[in-house]
Structure formats: structure tokens, C-alpha cells
Structure 1
Amino acid sequence: MNAPLRLAVFDMDGTLMDSQDFIVEAMTRAFVDMGLDVPARSEILSIVGLSLFEAISRLKPNLPEDRVSAASQKYKDMFIKLRAERGGEASAPLYPGARQALEDLHKRDEVLLGVATGKAMRGVDHAFKAHDLAGFFVTKQTADLHPSKPHPSMLLSCLSDTGAVKENAVMIGDTSFDIEMGRAAGFRTLGVTWGYHSESALRTAGADILISDFADVVAALDELWSVSA
């Protein structure tokens, strides 16, 4: 009897890639250019994973919608400029152990991999090219094509793309938005503590398992899949 399909969906920023310096610098430049007070680094990192409009709305709740839209575009412009200055997404490294975990999972015929990220598709394509990641993933869902996390739309599209069922699917992420999205879609959830939200925030969001090292990803996924089997 063939093993059922298993689906593992990864967040990108703060989970696969350490892109915090890129994000903070681009947001800082955007706010300065628009004459807005710059939020603290911790505030900026707290909104990573949300769609850009939602993220800036949370950082500046009293900002009119047209100014939020302008700030969103300014952030995109600054991010593109930074990408050119720093040699592209390769300057935002993968976390230690990420590639090995992806390789180990990719070797298993019953396991399919996806990404669900607050990045736009253009940013994902740049990151995939810079880090040679495209061959690992069969589905990629981005903030410019879906409602912002924690809405489950991205994960429901992952299921549709792969033919997997939610009972055999796991969302892996570093923020409460990832965990809440996973739970909303009926996925198991794996929280990673090396990213942008605290361990307590991940627990409060309802993560089924927390890990602090990429070397533990495969074992944690197997544990979650065994529960759903």
C-alpha cells in the first residue's frame, strides 16, 4: 500500500531565510522618505509575514489608506534598490540546516513541499534563483495573490495544487500569523523559534510543536504526520 501524500508548507522570511536586515532597512528607508517616524526594529519584525498593506497599517494605524498604499509602494521601491546594492537575495542567507532539511524531505516520494509567504511572487522568484530552491517546491503561494495571513487562502491553494489533504499537511513558520493560518486551514502546525516572533507568541497561537534547530524539522514533521495517519 502506497503511503499517503504528505505536505509540508514553509514560510520564507524568518523561517527559511534570515532576511531581517533587508526588511528593516527597506522599511526604514521608506518611512524616512515619506517623512514618517520610523518604528523600532522589533516593531518592524513583528509584522513580517503579513501582506504589505496590512503590515504598514498595523505599524501606522492612523495613517490614511492612500498613504498606506504609498508607503507600501515606497517599501517595494526601496527593497528593489537594496537588492541591487547588495547583490540580490543571496545576501539574505538561508538559516543553517535549511538546505539539508529540504534535501532530506525532497528525497521522499510521498512528501511534497510548498511555500506560503508574505513576499510577492517576484521576491520569491528572486530568492529561489539566488539560493537554487525552485527544484524543491511544487507549490508557491504569495501575498500578492491572496488575502494576508492568517487567512487560510494560501494553504487551501497548496492543497489544491498538490492533491494532499489537510489531515496530512503541516505549516512551518516563525510567526503567530503562520500558526494561525495553519490552524485556520486545518493543518498541523510547527513553530520555529529562530525567527521573528517569540516562543510564547507561537505557543499562544497554538503551535503543535516548537523547535529551535533546523536539524529537528524532519523528525518533528514525522511526529505530526504520525498523529494524522
Structure 2
Amino acid sequence: MPLIIFDWDGTLMDSVPRIVSCMQKTARAAKLTPPSPAAVHDVIGLSLPVALAQLFPEQRTETEQERLTSLYRYYYVEEDTTPTPLFDGVEHMLSDLKQRGARLAVATGKARRGLDRVWQETNTGHFFSSSYCACEAESKPHPEMLQRILAEQQETPENSVMIGDSKFDLRMAAAAQIASVGVTYGVHGREVLAAESPRYIAASPRALHTWLVKTYFHATVKD
């Protein structure tokens, strides 16, 4: 059975609008120029410290970086109410893949406490056999998260696939010599994702689900 590894934000959960909102609120609270939505999109998938350093390069000291991190986490967890639902069809896809015998994992730029929180909120943690977060390995596109998942699952790159909405997800997969699939309903569009040579690009969770079942199980998806 294949090992199917998912990114989280923008791939399984529609959390991108909230991330953009919180980055802009963080900037205003720190009296910095708020980044554009496009600028925020281009760092989603990176670990939070790396993303903040790219968006706010003038904040160089450790104290400044820690303040930005604290502000962002406050807004994301406590203050911002932008909804973060699972994308339509995601829960059905995860349940179906699990029932077919696939092993599922997550490699995410979230911190562990953030992933645990959303798993509890969505009751989806039971679908996944492994997970690695940005605080537990090098930031994407470094392959360490995927390498650790493969080692934990005693799996080969050839029997695995990485699915994500960001160029960083696909570059991480390439660095780990794992096939990749891009999704266009998150942060990066078809042109950006195609440049990373994924095996497939899905325009919706339904299309992703259909491709995975056809490719790895030689079957069709039932509603």
C-alpha cells in the first residue's frame, strides 16, 4: 500500500485567508508595512521563523524575531476569527484512502501544537500514521521531514507520494526523491507548480481523490 504524505495548510485545510490576515495584523502591531496577500502566499509552507524572516527582513535581532513570532501566534490562535474549514471533499478522501489500506502522513510548516490543535478541532488526527512539523525538522524545502516519515514508516521513496499546494512542498519531495502532486486551490497556481515537475496537478480535492485512487488502487471513487 502506498504512503501518501500531505501538506496541511492550503492542501487539506482552507487556512490561507487566516494566515494572510494574521500576517498583516502582525505587521501592523509591530508598526511594519503589511505584506500583500501575494507575498504571504509565497512563504506559506515555510516554517514560521523562516517565513517571518523573508517577509520582514529588517527585523534581524533575536528579540525582534521572537516578538513577531509571538504576535503572529496570538493573532492566529486567540484573536483572528477567519474560518479555517477543511476543503470540501477532504474528509471523505482521507476516510476512503484509509479504508483502502493507504498509510497517510502529514509534513507541515505548522508547529506541533498547531497541528495537534487543528486535528482536535477537525477530528482528523486518527487518519494519519506519521507526522512531522516545522519545529521538529528543517524547514521546507529541506527533505528532513519526509526522510523522517519514511524512516518511521520503514518505507521507500518509490512507494510514496507528497501532495502540496506550494512550490516548497514539491521541492521538498524532489530533494527526498519522492514523486509529488500539486494542488491549485491553495497558494500557488498551475504555472508555478508545473515548473517543479509534479506527476499530477489537481484543481480540487475531488480531482486529487480520483487521481490517487485510480493511480494507486486502479479503481474509481464512489460518492
- TM-score, normalised with respect to structure 1: 0.88
| Correspondent of 2:86 among 77, 88, 94 | 94
Give the equivalent residue in structure 1 for 2:54: 58
Distance 1:223 1:185, change over 3 A: farther
In structure 2, the gaps of 5 or more residues are 218-223
Letter of the 1:121 counterpart:
R
The offset of 1:179, in angstroms, is: 0.3
The offset of 1:69, in angstroms, is: 3.3
The offset of 1:54, in angstroms, is: 0.8
Give the equivalent residue in structure 1 for 2:148: 157
- For 1:101 and 1:80, locate their aligned partners in 2 and report how far apart those are by CA, in whole Å: 27
Identity %: 32
SS at the partner of 2:161? strand
Give the equivalent residue in structure 1 for 2:106: 115
| Correspondent of 1:49 among 32, 45, 49 | 45
The offset of 1:107, in angstroms, is: 0.3
Tell me, yes or no, if the aligned pair for 2:97 and 2:213 is still in contact at 8 Å.
no
The offset of 1:42, in angstroms, is: 1.5
- For 1:214 and 1:92, locate their aligned partners in 2 and report how far apart those are by CA, in whole Å: 16
- TM-score, normalised with respect to structure 2: 0.91
Give the equivalent residue in structure 2 for 1:204: 195
- For 1:179 and 1:220, locate their aligned partners in 2 and report how far apart those are by CA, in whole Å: 17
The offset of 1:221, in angstroms, is: 2.7
Give the equivalent residue in structure 2 for 1:134: 125
- For 2:33 and 2:76, locate their aligned partners in 1 and report how far apart those are by CA, in whole Å: 19
How many pairs are equivalent?
216
Greater shift, 208-217 or 146-155, is seen at 208-217
Give the equivalent residue in structure 1 for 2:25: 29
- For 1:80 and 1:222, locate their aligned partners in 2 and report how far apart those are by CA, in whole Å: 35
SS at the partner of 1:138? strand
Distance 1:185 1:201, change over 3 A: same
Tell me, yes or no, if the aligned pair for 1:190 and 1:220 is still in contact at 8 Å.
no
Greater shift, 68-77 or 133-142, is seen at 68-77
Q: CA-atom RMSD, angstroms? A: 1.7
Letter of the 2:99 counterpart:
K
- For 2:155 and 2:214, locate their aligned partners in 1 and report how far apart those are by CA, in whole Å: 18
Tell me, yes or no, if the aligned pair for 1:171 and 1:179 is still in contact at 8 Å.
yes
- For 1:219 and 1:121, locate their aligned partners in 2 and report how far apart those are by CA, in whole Å: 30
- For 2:204 and 2:10, locate their aligned partners in 1 and report how far apart those are by CA, in whole Å: 13
Give the equivalent residue in structure 1 for 2:162: 171
Correspondence 1:182 to 2:173: yes
Give the equivalent residue in structure 1 for 2:9: 13
The offset of 1:76, in angstroms, is: 1.3
In structure 1, the gaps of 5 or more residues are none
Tell me, yes or no, if the aligned pair for 1:18 and 1:93 is still in contact at 8 Å.
yes
SS at the partner of 2:34? coil
Letter of the 1:123 counterpart:
G
